[in-house]
Chain A
């Protein structure tokens, strides 16, 4: 450990630690002014904003390329430092168009934010014509570039060079004609292209999906976890007035670091999609008709009772359902009501390529949670064999018919099918009862990722008026089968399952910000990851 003094106060840090990070801690979380430094990228040291005074060193030094050494005395707030930052910021603005009123970055612009603090306000800048650069270039499917707003921090270039290793971007020309862009003949179309929008400290790189849709300072944000695959990238859902506008990665060094894929980022479009199940449906005279909840429950009860003395309940979970829902389904409808759990997913479905970075082969978010609750994969023939005219099949958010033709046929062998889910699909279309639930963005829950890490996500927006929280639907179903759940509120589910099941004992103390690893195997992996 090294003892160092920052702004008059003594601190102990690891010798060799990045000085920028040490200063952030010493300044109570307030980062030094900067554009180019990013903890997930190699140091470029080009914006020259994070200048600090180090005793015994005549020149100011940039903190991002300095390391903590024992005995160091650092000053981050001296007049000399602040004056220099002010002047360097003026250089940044020299050829910047200052078109804030029409720029989408307003509200989350490092240039704007830092000018509020380090602005010269009275400036001598008068260079006549600014250097003209290319504007409004669609450099990829998801990203728009305005080179004039760019401060040439090179974060985007370093991202494509060191993180995706796709090298689409570069800085072309020299001096004050330097201009960021994509290499001739290429476009920015890697699976992580929108990360450059997050990285861009100014309005140079903007999301084609989000731009001009909402001022960012009107957005609220909630912590969430991407439901797109088994990696479980941490993210924020940003919304306003009940509408989701974008999803952004949330830093979790143990999972996704600072990044997420474009596909996951755009999943929010399904939440307000045209295929939402917005009302309960009951099949009457062969047609699915929208009905009220009361009607659905009584029709379902009648149907259940009509299946005769030998009536059976067969349950299918889902790797898309939350841990709480899967527990509710199992504990209430199987353990208490005597239903038979077939499993949580059709064997071999919803698998794709593992890209070696964040996109996992398993494209479901909670396979590990389901398996730890005892769910297993099943085949279409098992689905068929469990059927019968006396069987009611309850499917929790799982498009069996869409995933496998044989499974679609197998559904026909059941006396009745009830589908709980939030999107219309091949399965909901053949069900006899459709119970509209909520999407990941409309409820709280826990997913367990591929490494056995339990992670919480929270509600951002309300679902369709007639949709209900899935766990409540499961509770209602219990009542139909004559069993009242032991849990009355959503959080009861998590406390009950962590108290009752050894596999989830680790969750008893709550789930940490970085998630909580459920078992030893993964804990070992954690150590390996460093």
Chain B
């Protein structure tokens, strides 16, 4: 699997890869320069549409199509918001780009902004990524000094301001409208849609929100063309994707793979995870960040890492946060960690999510404390049913998907927490006691 061009991690591992000097010495900013000097914005949108690049934040929506929703001549400025708020358990792929190759993202921002006619872009970085905020800010400063940002970029007449913003550490601010609210200084809660951000977004203006990885793919695509990008990966999921591998594997980390690569390659491949730690067998794997349905070991070995294959298996590629679970782990305990997370991170607006996440967490906590009741699994299923698809954003669904799949696929482990079907205690009427006394 080494016969593909590295698009995202090509600079990672190079000394001082985060500096402008090193980035430029490796051909950086040439793609942006070429784009700005030789292409029209609509041509850039065309190339990105043709490339089939899909949003790497989790939803996998075609990036070029998303850009196409931005109304031209709305009389309002267009904003580009780069979503660097990755905070889902098991997802830490954007961190490598932000940390080791921030200029790749900045170059992507220039290209994307040019394409959608944006002159003010924001990078919204997860609150916990403190050191990364500093690093990205430094890179942005370097770019300003080199005339790559600000007024009249590279003498092309194109202006672009980039502002780095540190979030306050809320998962929900990674949801694009939650991010917009947060950036506006409001409580980080998703907005009701419609209207959609492409039309009414940041400061009530047309807004594009793109993931870091999506943006970082742009320089390569514009340099090599849509066809070259389509040459990698599968027909419907072209290109490469970052996967953050965690769990009891020998070599956890962030890897770049062409879409369509077998999941077992990521976990067991020599260049990647190198297999399970000694003494631990693969039991399950969450392939796309904690919000997607879990795969059994068998399914894991058969799965391919692209949007369509995983959808066929009833799960999702999501963010590419691949959490490997070994046979030493208890599935109810793993699920408890996830539910605790969603309970904690629910913004609390919509009733089914606000109450449902807490309820699921409470039931599982009770079960793990040895106080399970016979109907608990049915109750969990009923709660899940009423949380799914009924809320403003998908955090509610994100809690439901792992819950349902964990219980469906590892039901025995959950059932073991419930009391055995016992004869109900015999009801002793008071009258009989009175008889006994007489």
Contacts and interface: CB of A to CB of B under 8 A. Distances in A.
B395 to A, nearest CB: 10
B382 interface: yes
Nearest to B343: A175
Interface in B168-203: 170, 187, 192, 194
Band of interface residues on B: 20 to 34
A175 B351 contact: no
A464 interface: no
B356 interface: yes
B245 interface: no
A174 B347 contact: yes
Contact of A131 (B170, B347, B349, B358): B358
B336 to A, nearest CB: 16
Interface stretch (A42-50, A302-310, A428-436): A42-50
B64 to A, nearest CB: 26
Interface in A151-172: 151-152, 154, 170-171
Interface in B390-410: 390-392
B401 to A, nearest CB: 15
B104 interface: no
B346 interface: yes
B346 A48 contact: no
B195 to A, nearest CB: 10
A124 interface: yes
Interface string A24-59: 000000000000000000011111110100000001
Given A60-B389, A88-B390, A45 B192 contact: yes
A178 interface: yes
Q: Give the secondary structure class of A's interface.
A: loop
B351 A151 contact: yes
B366 interface: yes
B342 to A, nearest CB: 9
A154 B348 CA distance: 11
Contacts of B66: none
A232 B229 CA distance: 69
Given A171-B187, A176-B358, A45 B351 contact: no
Nearest to A67: B194
A44 B390 contact: no
Interface in B348-396: 348-352, 354-359, 362-363, 366, 375, 379, 382, 385-386, 389-392
B161 interface: no
Interface string A325-368: 00000000000000000000000000000000000000000000
Given A84-B386, A84-B390, A127 B347 contact: no
Interface residues of A, number: 34
B390 A175 contact: no
A97 to B, nearest CB: 14
A152 B351 contact: yes
Interface string A58-74: 01100001000000000
Contact of B344 (A87, A91, A175): A175
Pick from A44, A87, A131 the residue with the most CB of B within 10 Å: A87
B192 A178 contact: no
B382 A176 contact: no
Contact of A175 (B352, B354, B366): B354
B126 to A, nearest CB: 16
B345 interface: yes
B379 A95 contact: no
Nearest to B373: A126
A175 B346 contact: yes
Nearest to A64: B192
Contacts of B356: 91
A99 B389 CA distance: 31
